[in-house]
Amino acid sequence: MFDRSAEPVGRADLGGIDLPTGSARGLPGRLYFDPAAFDQERRTIFRKSWFAATYASDLPAPGDIHPVSIAGWELLLVRARDGAIRCFHNICRHRGMKLVERPGNAQRISCRYHCWTYGLDGSLLATPHLGGPGINQGEGIHPEQLGLREVRCAVWRDIVFVDVDGVARPLDEHFRQLETLLAEYELDGLQLAAETTPEQEVPFNWKIQIEGGIESYHLPWVHPQLELPPMGYRFEADPADAFIGFKTPMSDAEMKRRAAGNGASEGPVLPNFPVIDAKISRGEAPQFLILFVLPNVTAVVMPNYLVLGLLRPLAVDRTVVRRKFYYVGAAAGAPGLAGTRSDIARIWHEILQQDIPFLAEVQKMCRVRDEAGMSTRFSPYWEVGLHMFQKYVARNALA
What is the per-residue pLDDT across 322-375, written as a single tens digit (0 to 9) for each?
A: 999 999 999 999 999 999 999 999 999 999 999 999 999 999 999 999 999 999
**Peptide bond just before 295 cis, omega within 30 deg:** yes
- Tell whether pTM > 0.85: yes
Note whether 44 and 31 are within 8 A (CB). Answer: no
The confidence band for 113, taking pLDDT boundaries of 50, 70 and 90, is very high
Mean pLDDT lowest among 121-135, 222-236, 294-308, 315-329: 222-236
Please state which CATH class domain 51-163 belongs to: mainly beta
For the chain, residues classed under CATH 3.90.380.10 are 172-397
The confidence band for 266, taking pLDDT boundaries of 50, 70 and 90, is low
For the chain, residues classed under CATH 2.102.10.10 are 51-163
Q: How far apart are CA 148 and CA 145, in angstroms?
A: 9
The whole-chain average pLDDT of the chain stands at 91
* Tens digit of each residue's pLDDT (9 = 90 or more) over 191-249: 999 999 999 999 999 999 999 999 999 999 999 988 888 777 778 888 889 999 888 87
Are β-strands 73-79 and 64-70 bridged in parallel, bridged antiparallel, or unpaired? antiparallel
CATH ID of 172-397, from 3.40.1280.10, 3.10.20.30, 3.90.380.10, 3.30.479.30: 3.90.380.10
Residue 108 pairs in a beta bridge with none
pLDDT for 247 equals: 83
Which 3 state secondary structure label does DSSP give 215?
coil
293 — phi, psi (to 5°)?
Answer: -80, 105
Are β-strands 85-89 and 150-156 bridged in parallel, bridged antiparallel, or unpaired? antiparallel
